[in-house]
């Protein structure tokens, strides 16, 4: 299947700092999605991107669909303790019925 490389694997930051994470694929996608998962819960959709170059915000979160269509970025500004969790990227290409997922970035926010 498609390989999505997500980095970093984990981050430990101070409250108030900004966070950046990214996801790259081996092939072109036409949809990029970003999810957050809290312990014991299912992933919750944060941001959806559908066009190369698209920049979309959801509160303190901003995500971008890379120009090459093989990558996407998520930024969190002014982190707070409730940002703690695992963030997943997901992508979909034009040929299949599947969503492909990155292995996640574990975020810890130190108060």
Partner 1 sequence: DAGITQSPRHKVTETGTPVTLRCHQTENHRYMYWYRQDPGHGLRLIHYSYGVKDTDKGEVSDGYSVSRSKTEDFLLTLESATSSQTSVYFCATSPGLGRNTEAFFGQGTRLTVV
Nearer to partner 1, 45 or 78 (CB): 45
CA distance 85 to 98: 24
Does residue 13 touch partner 1 according to CB under 8 A? no
**Minimum CB distance to partner 1, residue 62 (Å):** 18
Does residue 90 touch partner 1 according to CB under 8 A? yes
DSSP string of 26-43, one letter each residue: SS--SEEEEEEE-TTS--
Helix (H, G, I), strand (E, B) or coil at 7: strand
CA nearest to 28, candidates 103, 85, 89, 91? 91
Does residue 41 touch partner 1 according to CB under 8 A? yes
**Minimum CB distance to partner 1, residue 88 (Å):** 7
Inter-residue contact 18 to 75 (CB < 8 Å)? yes
Contact residues: partner 1, CB under 8 A: 1, 30-31, 33, 35, 40-45, 48, 50, 88, 90, 92, 97-99, 101-104
């Amino acid at each position: 299947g498609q390989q999505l490389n997500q980095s970093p694997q984990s981050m430990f930051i101070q409250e108030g700092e900004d966070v950046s994470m990214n996801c790259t694929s081996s092939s072109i996608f036409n949809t990029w999605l970003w999810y957050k998962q809290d312990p014991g819960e299912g992933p919750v959709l944060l941001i959806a991107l559908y066009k190369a170059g698209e920049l979309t915000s959801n509160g303190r979160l901003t995500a971008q669909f890379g120009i090459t269509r093989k990558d996407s970025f998520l930024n969190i500004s002014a982190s707070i303790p409730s940002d703690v969790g695992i963030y997943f990227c997901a992508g979909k290409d034009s040929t299949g019925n599947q969503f492909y997922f990155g292995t996640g970035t574990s975020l810890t926010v130190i108060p």
